[in-house]
């Protein structure tokens, strides 16, 4: 049949019926675990659909189950900026930690008793799925929480991810974890082994390896599952949609996701207080081995959204949720040797070289020993038999020595007096546990780390500058300070081993593009001790200008949110060092720029936006939303994502949507663009 001929309505109708029916069977099989037809019957339906679509390619829509077999391979994954950041969770390792978490929540909320939603903590990969008008349009990995990788094609191959939702809100982000269930993992490994292919150490690695394939046809052959554990952005609430847009508790959201046909853990519970949470932990711990998927603990979430909002966030984790991890797994092995590693700030970390041992799901051959005192405290000697511990995804450590097995060959560890990388003296200051290489940026190890830190995505975001290249340019002495990066030329780069002109060109473009940055990124990139991303943001926000930070006295620095004496001193020390000021000046001379503003320190107390909560919606003509946010924050406002009773103003640009309705409903004052600009001035 030629596809130019008009499509009989009957063919289209049949295709629609088959699509629905097949998705229904996939749901029964992969989500409910209760298939109602045999595999052969399923194949029969599937082949009928396939044949109809092959005859009429224009009818094979993106949401057809036949599209779940994978698409053409990609060259690379594109980046996706998450609408709502994907956060991480704080950890609890003991009953005391859980009790302390519960107390913090109760104290903040001023209540005696809190309701918690409890869930298994899946040991897989965090994923965000975006549905627009009920259609699955995009799926992304967590990445650094703000920006992830677009793995849509791969996710489409996962049968438990619905491609269509009935009656969904205009926009819905579903958050959850991609895992490989235990039985699927066993089967996959058996198949790999039978085909002489590599086997995977654990389900988590198998899931990660399968999802991060550029060829989605390969992913399609790997049995992955998606478990939903929450939602991100929701816009354009509708009735129906399983009630997902109306939920006022996390547990109601989970029930709604189940009604929308997502796979959700059956082992969920709503409990009261730390006592209820700990009972849940015991109960799940008892079932851990018989669960169909690997978990590394449980998660407690304050159930009510109003209470969640009140508790808010610290840095990159919510205050209203915590992961309670199962105790670490342990194994016994031999300490073969102790090497030292040099970090970005010159810190010398002794690292245990171990006889490889399988613990907590992976083979461990190195473990951190933190510092010299720690080695003495534990009484470790090289050649000792030791207990190695690994808690979830935390770096393995040497827990203790088994003295009964010590032999006469055991020898004491001696801290080297000179840096293994640059030969400079290793020094340990009075009262400090950490020994440091005194070579500073003369030390290639420190230079290499400094360059990597400077270039990383959350700092200057220099695309194309990874570990290998950092190694090469430092070794070839092309880069001694970050400013040297901006002086690299094509000739010097192209002279490096295995460096094609194209990659050199790409790197130079990446470097050029990084020149436009923000003050917060720049501050973070400098690598000042104790100044992480969150602190850099706080400093940038409250001072507004680099010069003010560089010259701020200790007391002024300490006035900043979350900046204590240690951080303040470290900032002061950094900028008191003429060499560092010189690097900053050179970077500016190389053309690095960022927006500067007045900072909030001078303004918070007055002005129409001081201390107010503002929501931005619609498109502004005179500035981007990011700029509007910066201006508001500089004037002491808090910019929120959604309208609530706590909102003071809604700034409405063109085509403002549901937030405007909400503002009207709650009688929140709405500012149009010109009023807004007037108030800014
Ligand atoms: S909630 C706001 N629930 O654990 C926090 N996370 O350390 C959002 N995870 O990357 C996470 N099971 O991928 C949540 N039931 C569960 C989870 C879960 C596993 C992972 C998640 C995240 C990590 C947080």
**Residue 547 confidence (pLDDT):** 93
121: CA distance to ligand 1 center in Å? 7
Taking the CA atoms of residue 234, residue 235, residue 241 and residue 245 in that order, the dihedral angle to the nearest 10 degrees is: 60
Read off the pLDDT of residues 274-332 as tens digits, 9 standing for 90 and up. Answer: 999 999 999 999 888 889 999 999 999 999 999 999 999 887 899 999 999 987 788 89
Q: Is the pLDDT of residue 396 over 80?
A: yes
Pairwise CA distance, residues 587 & 604, whole Å: 31
Which of 86, 88, 267 is the best mutation target for the ligand 1 pocket, counting ligand atoms within 8 Å of the beta carbon and taking the most? 88
The answer to whether residues 132 and 174 touch, using CB atoms and an 8 Å cutoff, is: no
What average pLDDT score do residues 33-45 get?
A: 90
**Residue 244 confidence (pLDDT):** 84
* Active-site residue, 121 included: yes
217: CA distance to ligand 1 center in Å? 28
The answer to whether residues 182 and 278 touch, using CB atoms and an 8 Å cutoff, is: no
Pairwise CA distance, residues 343 & 448, whole Å: 9
468: number of Cβ within 10 Å: 11
Residue ID of nearest Cα to ligand 1 atom 13:
126
Under the banding of pLDDT at 50, 70 and 90, the label for residue 394 is low
Tell me, using a 6 A CB cutoff, whether residue 89 lines ligand 1.
yes
Read off the pLDDT of residues 447-482 as tens digits, 9 standing for 90 and up. Answer: 999 999 999 999 999 998 988 889 899 989 899 889
624: CA distance to ligand 1 center in Å? 32
Instruction: Work out which ligand 1 atom sits closest to the CA atom of 125.
Output: 13
Q: Is the pLDDT of residue 404 over 50?
A: yes
**Residue 1 confidence (pLDDT):** 47
Tell me, using a 6 A CB cutoff, whether residue 87 lines ligand 1.
yes
* DSSP codes, 242-281: GGTTT--BHHHHHHHHHHTT----S--EEEEHHHHHHHHH
Pairwise CA distance, residues 294 & 271, whole Å: 23
Under the banding of pLDDT at 50, 70 and 90, the label for residue 98 is very high
Read off the pLDDT of residues 573-627 as tens digits, 9 standing for 90 and up. Answer: 999 988 889 999 999 999 999 988 877 754 455 788 877 889 999 888 888 887 7
489: number of Cβ within 10 Å: 11
Tell me, using a 6 A CB cutoff, whether residue 323 lines ligand 1.
yes
**Residue 333 confidence (pLDDT):** 95
Q: What is the DSSP letter of 174?
A: E
**Residue 103 confidence (pLDDT):** 97
Tell me, using a 6 A CB cutoff, whether residue 177 lines ligand 1.
yes
Under the banding of pLDDT at 50, 70 and 90, the label for residue 137 is very high
Which of 299, 317, 318 is the best mutation target for the ligand 1 pocket, counting ligand atoms within 8 Å of the beta carbon and taking the most? 299
Under the banding of pLDDT at 50, 70 and 90, the label for residue 362 is confident
Per the model's pLDDT, the better-predicted residue between 199 and 304 turns out to be 304
pTM of the complete model:
0.62
Helix (H) and strand (E) counts in the chain: 25, 24
The answer to whether residues 116 and 270 touch, using CB atoms and an 8 Å cutoff, is: yes
What average pLDDT score do residues 230-245 get?
A: 81
Single out the catalytic residue among 12, 19, 103, 121: 121
């Amino acid at each position: 049949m030629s596809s130019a001929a008009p499509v009989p309505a009957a063919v289209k109708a049949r295709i629609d019926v088959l699509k629905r029916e097949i998705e229904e069977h996939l749901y029964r099989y992969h989500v409910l675990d209760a298939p109602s037809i045999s595999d052969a019957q399923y194949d029969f339906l599937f082949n009928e659909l396939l044949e109809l679509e092959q005859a009429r390619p224009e009818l094979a829509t993106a949401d057809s189950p036949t599209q779940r077999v994978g698409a053409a391979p990609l060259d690379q994954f594109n980046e996706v900026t998450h609408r709502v950041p994907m956060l991480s969770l704080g950890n609890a390792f003991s009953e005391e930690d859980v009790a302390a978490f519960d107390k913090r929540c109760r104290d903040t909320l001023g209540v005696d008793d809190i309701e918690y939603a409890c869930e298994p903590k899946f040991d897989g990969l965090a994923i965000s799925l975006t549905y627009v008008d009920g259609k699955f349009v995009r799926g992304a990995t967590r990445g650094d929480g703000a920006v992830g990788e677009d793995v849509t094609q791969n996710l489409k191959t996962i049968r438990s991810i619905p491609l269509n939702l009935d009656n969904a809100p205009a926009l819905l982000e579903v958050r959850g974890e991609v895992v490989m269930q235990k039985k699927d993992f066993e089967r996959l490994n058996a198949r790999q082994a039978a085909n002489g292919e590599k086997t995977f150490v654990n389900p988590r690695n198998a899931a990660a390896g399968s999802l991060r394939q550029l060829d989605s046809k390969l992913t399609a052959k790997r049995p992955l599952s998606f478990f939903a554990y929450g939602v991100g952005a929701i816009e354009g609430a509708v009735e129906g949609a399983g009630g997902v847009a109306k939920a006022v508790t996390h547990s109601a959201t989970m029930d709604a996701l189940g009604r929308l046909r997502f796979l959700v853990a059956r082992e969920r519970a709503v409990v009261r207080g730390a006592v209820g949470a700990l009972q849940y932990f015991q109960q799940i711990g008892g079932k851990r081995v018989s669960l169909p998927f690997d978990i590394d603990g449980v998660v407690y979430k304050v159930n009510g959204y109003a209470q969640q909002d009140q508790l808010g966030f610290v840095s990159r984790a919510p205050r209203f949720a915590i992961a309670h991890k199962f105790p670490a797994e342990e194994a016994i092995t031999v300490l073969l040797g102790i090497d030292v590693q040099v970090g970005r700030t010159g810190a010398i970390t002794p690292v245990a070289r171990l006889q490889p041992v399988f613990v907590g799901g992976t083979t461990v051959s190195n473990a951190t020993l933190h510092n010299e005192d720690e080695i003495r405290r534990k009484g470790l000697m090289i050649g000792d038999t030791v207990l190695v511990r690994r808690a979830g995804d935390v770096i393995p450590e040497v827990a203790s020595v088994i003295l009964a097995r010590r032999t006469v060959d055991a020898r004491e560890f001696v801290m080297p007096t000179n840096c293994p990388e640059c030969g400079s003296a290793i020094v340990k200051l009075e009262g400090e546990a950490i020994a440091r290489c005194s070579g500073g940026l003369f030390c290639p190890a420190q230079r290499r780390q400094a360059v990597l830190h400077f270039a990383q995505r959350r700092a200057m975001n220099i695309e194309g500058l990874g570990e290998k290249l950092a190694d090469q340019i430092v070794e070839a002495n092309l880069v001694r300070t970050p400013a040297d990066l901006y002086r690299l030329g094509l000739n010097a780069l192209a002279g490096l081993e295995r460096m094609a002109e194209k990659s050199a060109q790409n790197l130079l473009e990446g470097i050029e593009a990084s020149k436009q940055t923000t003050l917060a990124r720049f501050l973070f990139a400098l690598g000042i001790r104790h100044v992480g991303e969150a602190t850099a943001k706080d400093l940038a926000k409250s001072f507004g200008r680099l010069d003010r930070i560089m010259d701020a006295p200790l007391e002024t620095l300490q006035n900043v949110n979350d900046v204590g004496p240690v951080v303040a001193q470290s900032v002061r020390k950094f900028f008191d060092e003429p060499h560092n000021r010189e690097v900053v000046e050179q970077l500016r001379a190389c053309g690095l720029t960022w927006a500067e503003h007045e900072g909030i320190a001078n303004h918070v107390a007055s002005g129409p936006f001081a201390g107010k909560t503002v929501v931005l919606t619609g498109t502004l003509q005179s500035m981007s939303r990011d700029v509007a946010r910066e201006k508001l924050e500089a004037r002491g406002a808090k910019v929120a994502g959604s309208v609530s009773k706590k909102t003071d103003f809604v700034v409405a640009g063109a085509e403002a949507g549901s937030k405007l309705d909400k503002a009207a409903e709650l009688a929140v004052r709405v500012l149009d663009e010109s009023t807004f600009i007037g108030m800014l001035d």
